[in-house]
Structures are given as structure tokens and as C-alpha cells.
Structure 1
């Protein structure tokens, strides 16, 4: 059954699927409520002073990969701050992120190669949440076209249901979160430099899943923000820019 063949009833069945065995630990109600401020973020970024941004010593090409049910517009503010620092932020050009399909991953591979060939340098892949899972998969498939993978609140480690979005994911994507239509390699580190940004205030993804184990990434960095805040919080912007400047 392809994604387009899935009926509403089947999507509901996936969303209401029972978990066999003990339920994995997920962010609690207090942290979930912290995500409720996200609709106010467009106002927040307009009324507060712009974050201080220092010019990059070595500007990079950065391919931006949005999170689940997000679009490039959702990362627009972060992209703007990255460009203020002198880097070049590039759109993934796949629109709405409704989950992985073989066709989407292959199209993203072509986009990555297009960006590398156009600028004559390996880009950094910056993936937010599910976008980070795409980034890691791309680096496995095209390691010679990627300089670094940076994930922000991406659940690449542990139980794929240790989050507050897996039921929505299964409804929208149309497949079980632990059985995507592409190869699963969540715990396998890509063969390029891989950095995990995570937050213990994350109300969507369990922090341990976004931080990962030592063998699953090269470095990890805790950021004081909500899950949605990775796209606009000053702390997240500073962490991203510091990492982009790190060789």
C-alpha cells in the first residue's frame, strides 16, 4: 500500500496504535505546555532586539531541513540570522515535511548534489527535529557531499515512540514510526562530523533521544529552549552559529 492509497480509517488505526510492553518515557505535561508559546513567536521576534550576530570567519553553505509538518518558512527566521553572520542558507525545496518516502529522500539527494556542485563546496546540513533525520540519512548516502550534520531536537536515538508526536506522525506519514519506507539507521552515526543540539526543556522529543549516545554522534550541545524554540530562540541561534564557526 502506498502513501496515497492509505485511507482515513487506516491513518486513524495507526494514530491509535497500542504500544506493546512498557510505554517509553516522553516529555511531561509541564514541558509540553511550554511549547504552547510557539504561536506567539512571530510577535516575539519582532518586539525583542535582534540577537547579536558576529560575522563568520569562514562562511558556510547551509542546507536547512524543516521539522515534521513544517515548511522552509518555519525556519525562515533562523535562516535570516545565519545569513546575517555571512553564511548562505539554502532551502530544501521540498515544501511541507510530511515524513520520509523513498521519492522524497532521492529528490533531497539531488538537491544536495545540486547545491554542492553550484557552490563548489560541501554544505552543512542543519536539520530540525525530523529534518535532522533526513540530514543523517543524506550523510549516509552522500558522505562526500556533506561537510557536517547538525541536528536540533532530532530523535535519532532510543525508542522512536519516546516523544509526544509519534501518533500524529503515524497519522500524517501513513506508516509506523519504527517502520519507515526507507532504511532505518537511527543509532548509526553518519560517516561525517555529526553534532546533536538538544534541550532538557523539549516538550516534544525526549532529551536522551535527541542527545544520543557517544557512538551515535561526535558531539552534543545542550540548548536552553523549547522544541519549537530551536527555530527562533536566541539561545538556539547562538548555538547554531557557534557550531558553524567551529572547524
Structure 2
């Protein structure tokens, strides 16, 4: 019989996957039409990492919104995310060094925001240099079930990625909690990855925040943009779990349906 873990981590249905492009388009247009209430940031540096097969254009709406909230926003500057070049642990130090350089240049810790596979990068960078990272926010990142229960593996292989390096040891490391405040934003209607694989285990500086969004539309979804800005706007050293506010994206928009789920 299949194990309880196998039952818990199941890939989204093909029917849900098929609706991803349409739902992502709706998320994009909702962000274009609606009005996001500004959040007052403190100017600290933020790096945004795109998902697999995506580049800077895919996170432009998110970066523009964060910039409008007075954060100092940086793209990851490596073009299209085709996965790590070579072995992951040999490729990662260059990304770590950039975070350390921004920390030194700004004199302030750097917040890392990652969508899907980009969230894996953000998490592992923070694990390597926690003294330079203020917090990590991930969008639809299945760090708990990266090797299975998602449809992203096929895309990774199409892009020439080597999935063989995703050893049990590496997968176990990816699931470990980070030494910095961490927010995982996930959607139960995600058509690409298993939402249960995005849930962080219980801890004093972790939270899981649910939204109603497609996987492909997360970087443009108005509610996701608002939550990310809210998390980044917290005073340094005074992190608290997210509490959904009755903020509207437009005068006629229904109240937010986001919720904070207890960490596992």
C-alpha cells in the first residue's frame, strides 16, 4: 500500500494544470485593472528570483509594486531561470556572494523573494548567509516535495536540467527550516506543484499563508503582491505572523480570502 507521505504529496490533476494559463491571464489582468493600496517600505534591499523557465518579465509586476512601496528592488539578473548551471552546491555561492555584496553596500540586510524554483534559491541562499538576510518569502515553492508530486520536473528536463543531483540528502536539506523569518505563500488551487509540499513546519519564525491563485499567476496576483509587500514592510527584528486585513484592491472588490495556516 502507498505510504501516508505518498498520499499527502500528490501532483495536481491534469484538469487543474490545463486551466493554469487562463487563470494566470485573469490574475495578470486583475493586477492591471485593480488598485493596490500602497505599503510604506523602509528602503531596504530586496531581490526577486523568477520561477523555472521564467525571466525578469515574469516578476516585473511584483518588482514594480515593491518599488512603489519604497523598497530597493533588484532582479536576480541571470536571465531566464533554466535551473542551476552544473551542480547546485557549486553554482549557489555566486548567488550568495551577491546577497552579501548588497548587504555590505546598503549597510542593511537583504530580503529574498522567490517564485516556485526561485524560492528554492532564496531559501538556500538564506541558509548559507543568514547574517545578510532579513527574511525570505516564497510563492508556490514546493521545498517539501521538490522531487515528486509536481509537473515542473517535465519542464526542467525540457530545459536540459539534470534532476539526478536531487538526492535524498539534498531533498532533506531543502525541507529544513531556515534560521531567518520565513513566509510561504501557497494556493490549494495550484495546478503545477503540490500545495502541501509548500507548507513549512511549525516554528517561531515561520508561517504559511494561503491564497486563491494559479501557480503561473502568483507573481501578478493582486493579493499575493499585497501580502509580499506587507511582509517586507515589517520593522527589522520585529517579525510577526501575517494577519489578513480587509483591504480592497478596488472599491468594488470583495474582501480578501487569504488566510494564515498553522505551520506544520
The TM tier, using the shorter chain, reads: 0.7 to 0.9
Change (3 A) 1:74 1:144: same
For residues 197 and 26 of structure 1, the distance between their equivalents in structure 2, rounded to whole angstroms, comes to 18
Q: Do the aligned residues in 2 keep the contact of 1:75 with 1:231 (CA within 8 Å)?
A: yes
Q: Residue 204 of structure 1 is aligned with which of 176, 192, 199? A: 192
State the partner residue of 1:10.
none
TM-score, reference length from structure 2? 0.76
Give yes or no for the alignment of 1:241 onto 2:229.
yes
Q: How does 1:184-223 map to 2 (within 5 A)?
A: 184=171, 185-214=173-202, 218-223=206-211
For residues 154 and 241 of structure 1, the distance between their equivalents in structure 2, rounded to whole angstroms, comes to 18
Structure 1, residues 53-79: CA drift from partner, whole Å, max 9, x if none?
2323x3432111111111122101110
Change (3 A) 1:112 1:139: same
Q: Do the aligned residues in 2 keep the contact of 1:65 with 1:92 (CA within 8 Å)?
A: yes
Bigger mean CA offset, 100-109 vs 146-155: 100-109
- Report the Cα offset of residue 104 of structure 1: 3.5
Q: Do the aligned residues in 2 keep the contact of 1:64 with 1:75 (CA within 8 Å)?
A: yes
Q: Do the aligned residues in 2 keep the contact of 1:83 with 1:89 (CA within 8 Å)?
A: yes
How many equivalent residue pairs? 224
Structure 1, residues 136-164: CA drift from partner, whole Å, max 9, x if none?
11011111110111111001013621111
SS in 1 for 2:82: coil
Q: Residue 73 of structure 2 is aligned with which of 50, 68, 89? A: 89
RMSD of the TM alignment (CA)? 2.6
- Report the Cα offset of residue 120 of structure 1: 0.7
- Report the Cα offset of residue 231 of structure 1: 0.8
State the partner residue of 1:34.
19
Q: How does 1:33-72 map to 2 (within 5 A)?
A: 33-37=18-22, 40=25, 44=29, 48-56=33-41, 58-72=42-56
State the partner residue of 1:105.
92
State the partner residue of 1:16.
none
TM-score, reference length from structure 1? 0.81
Q: Do the aligned residues in 1 keep the contact of 2:27 with 2:220 (CA within 8 Å)?
A: no
Gapped runs of 5+ residues in structure 2?
A: 1-5, 240-264
- Report the Cα offset of residue 29 of structure 1: 2.9
For residues 42 and 207 of structure 1, the distance between their equivalents in structure 2, rounded to whole angstroms, comes to 18
Q: Do the aligned residues in 1 keep the contact of 2:28 with 2:220 (CA within 8 Å)?
A: no
State the partner residue of 2:262.
none
For residues 10 and 155 of structure 2, the distance between their equivalents in structure 1, rounded to whole angstroms, comes to 17
State the partner residue of 2:215.
227
SS in 2 for 1:168: helix
State the partner residue of 2:163.
176
State the partner residue of 1:132.
119
